[in-house]
Structure 1
Amino acid sequence: MAFFTWDVNPVLLEIFGLKIHWYGALFAAAIFAGLQVMKWIFQQEKVKLALLDSLLMYCVVGIIVGARLGHCLFYDPGFYLSNPLKILAIWEGGLASHGGGLGVILAVYFFQKKYKLEYLWLLDRLAIATALFGFFVRFANFMNSEIIGIQTDVPWAVIFARIDLLPRHPAQLYESLSYLSIFVALLLLYRITNIKKHSGALLGAFLCLVFTARFCIEFVKVKQAAYSGELLINTGQALSIPFFAVGIYLLLQAWKKSRI
């Protein structure tokens, strides 16, 4: 069977010796797209648009710092604790979405304390933008031929020629398309239902949907953690369980309050 071969240069273009990578361009597109979603929501709810600039800075710092620390501490703690300066070498690659999520949650906490916004109200709305953000980032991983899937012979398997010549699950595309679908679902819920009136419900739905998808897709990913070994579930799945549990809790709390 002839499989699709993927052999794209991770460098999008080079100008006067300055290399612009696909990952960087798509990461910037993710931030821009998420900002536009939040701008539209703020306009719908008559919230000052001037707050978005500060919110953007808090979120970007939270994502990058959290994702980097998450990668270092969740996936290869032995190496990074022995070489702490390597934690700062972000240009060498290595960002973990679970860490990025925790970083944003913490950053938004400090933001809302400063600007006096309701915490869950803000996280609910950021959940919509974050799902779209995830779509771009996972597609960037596909462009980079990273976070690859395990070997398979399904008709849609992809050969990542920059890695090897084995047909593999395009796990990055599975995740990317899942997050895009979740974005559409959350946006529709926001627009045509009363879910936004129930504090924590949108965030709960986001956590349940995203981390269910993540848990399932991890079964067809190459293990990333240095210490995964022969565990029944891998690090990405283990880290997804608490997020899913928080999502269930938020949905139950929102449901209980709606019945009072």
Structure 2
Amino acid sequence: MIIEESFEMKPIYNRILLKLSGEALMGDQEFGISSETITSYAKQIKEIADLGVEVGIVIGGGNIFRGLSGTEQGIDRVTGDHMGMLATVINSLALQNAIELLGVPTRVQTAIEIPKVAEPFIKRKAQRHLEKGRVVIFGGGTGNPYFTTDTAAALRAIEINADVVIKATKVDGIYDKDPVKFADAKKYTDVTYTEVLNKDLKVMDATAISLCRENKLPIVVFDSLTEGNIKRVVLGEKIGTTVING
């Protein structure tokens, strides 16, 4: 008789920083938060938390307000960026609620102090939460105008000693040009930080890429609209594009 042994795949990362865009929460809507979409993300996050992966999250606010677009309406850039930071806090609280409804303890820490609704960002406290199996959502960006949530994601990942930045997008990786506009767009499986900067590949802003390069922090860019993809990334399945040192 042949006995088949089954081997359960194990995560290749112990601690991750997941970057979600605010627009990702809209689903098919033109504005706001889709309950169906945020529940889908919460389920995917629970999947990886159940594997023992320590999860930090940075989320954007573009589904509610974006500072740069505010300047086009006559809003001062600094004021607009602060409005955008508050939008990320709204998204963070909504995601926290969705994750906790699934039974996963979650904390929100913000770069702007709002003690009535969230903890201030404290590195050691965030690390302790992660060690205890709590998901930590970092709201408020970096707390400074002129810095994007991509930069906040890179910064928080470095501060909490994450193994990787996992950037969830609407496309299945990084291309040499917009795959929506160009049928001959070439997808990269792996690309270096320097190539991303030199070719202006629009993965993350230059400050975020430079921070990751200086700290040898890999970035995985993948399609988050397919359920289960976050789990596939942490299990080491080769999906999307990985940004690494050349």
TM-score between the two structures when normalised by the length of structure 2: 0.30
Judging by fraction of residues, say which structure has more helix: 1
TM-score between the two structures when normalised by the length of structure 1: 0.29
Query: Larger C-alpha radius of gyration, 1 or 2?
Result: 1
